Amino acid sequence: MHTIMSHEHIGKLLESDQFPAAVKGYLRTEYESLQSALHYDEEQPYSMETHGYNMAVLESKDGNENLLVGTRGLDLLNSTPEYVEVVELPDGVCMYRACLMPDNECFLLIYALRGALRLELEQWFAEQSECLAKEDFE
């Protein structure tokens, strides 16, 4: 799992080979949009956490992605998201984008490639985004 809260974190993600270019471009745009919306003042180092936001990108087949320990100890499979959607990117890439509010002071944005997660997480994302087809998980 990649946690993104600063320029350094997004830079490391963009340099990695773990995600397709379309995903990295989308995540960079998401990060920059939040930075702009939160009225970033360039005189001080920018941290999303200071503004109550966290971004987490789940890695393919990671065994611990349902326990987001680095982001307030949230158990994803037993949580109720604000929303989950499927984002269609270039080159036929689809990813889930979920927003959770674990408490009144934090928004957690979770991103995951569709079809790259363990079965129970894939089912959770599909059910929450209302994109579940019965034959998808038989």
Residue 124 makes CB contacts below 8 A (sequence gap 6+) with: 76, 77
Give pLDDT, residue 71: 46
Q: How far is CA 49 from CA 21, 36, 41, 70, 94, in A?
A: 26, 15, 15, 12, 27
Give pLDDT, residue 22: 93
The pairing of beta strand 106-113 with beta strand 53-58? parallel
Rounded-to-integer distance, Cα 2 and Cα 121, Å: 17
Which is more confidently placed, 23 or 136? 23
Residue 46 and residue 53 in contact, taking contact as beta carbons nearer than 8 Å: no
pTM above 0.75, yes or no: yes
Residue 106 makes CB contacts below 8 A (sequence gap 6+) with: 52, 53, 54, 72
In tens, the pLDDT along 86-121 reads 999 998 999 999 999 877 778 889 999 988 888 888
Q: Report, as an integer, the average pLDDT of 120-133.
A: 80
Q: Count CB-CB contacts under 10 A for residue 25.
A: 14
Of the listed ranges 9-13, 95-99, 129-133, the least confidently predicted one is 129-133
- pLDDT band at 40, cuts 50/70/90? low
Give pLDDT, residue 62: 57
Q: Which residue type occupies 129?
A: S
Burial of 93 (0-12, 13-18, 19+ CB in 10 A): middle
- pLDDT band at 59, cuts 50/70/90? confident
Per DSSP, the chain holds a count of helices (H) and strands (E) of: 3, 7
Q: Which residue type occupies 110?
A: I
- pLDDT band at 43, cuts 50/70/90? low
Give pLDDT, residue 28: 93
